[in-house]
Homo-oligomer: A and B are copies of this chain.
Amino acid sequence: MNDTLEIGGRRLKSRFFLGTGRYPNPFVQNEAIRISKSEVLTFAIRRVNLEAPREDAVLQHVNAEDFVFLPNTSGAKNADEAVRIARLAKASGLSNWIKVEISVNANTLLPDPVETLKATEKLAKEGFVVLPYTSDDPVLCKRLEEVGAAAVMPGAAPIGTGLGILNPYNLSLIIEEAGVPVIVDAGIGTASDVVQAMELGADGILLNTAVAKARNPVKMAEGMKYAIDAGRSAYLSGRIPKKRYATASSETEKFLMQR
A residues adjacent to B (C-beta < 8 A): 19, 21-22, 44-49, 56, 72, 74-77, 81, 84-85, 88, 101, 104-105, 107-114, 117, 135, 137-140, 142-143, 157-163, 166-167, 169-170, 173, 177, 186, 189-192, 194-196, 199, 208-210, 212-217, 219-220, 222-224, 226-227, 229-234, 236-251, 253-258
Contacts and interface: CB of A to CB of B under 8 A. Distances in A.
Contacts of A56: 251
B21 A250 contact: yes
A248 B74 contact: yes
Contacts of A250: 19, 21, 44, 72, 74-75, 101
Integer count of this chain's copies in the complex: 4
A213 B209 CA distance: 37
Contacts of A242: 161-163, 189
A229 B105 CA distance: 33
Given A161-B246, A223-B231, 17 more contacts: A47-B254, A109-B246, A110-B246, A113-B140, A114-B143, A160-B246, A190-B199, A190-B234, A191-B199, A192-B192, A192-B199, A192-B234, A209-B247, A213-B240, A220-B237, A222-B233, A223-B232
A195 B46 contact: no
Contacts of A194: 230
A208 B161 contact: no
Contacts of A254: 46-49
Given A113-B137, A219-B237, A107 B169 contact: no
A56 to B, nearest CB: 8
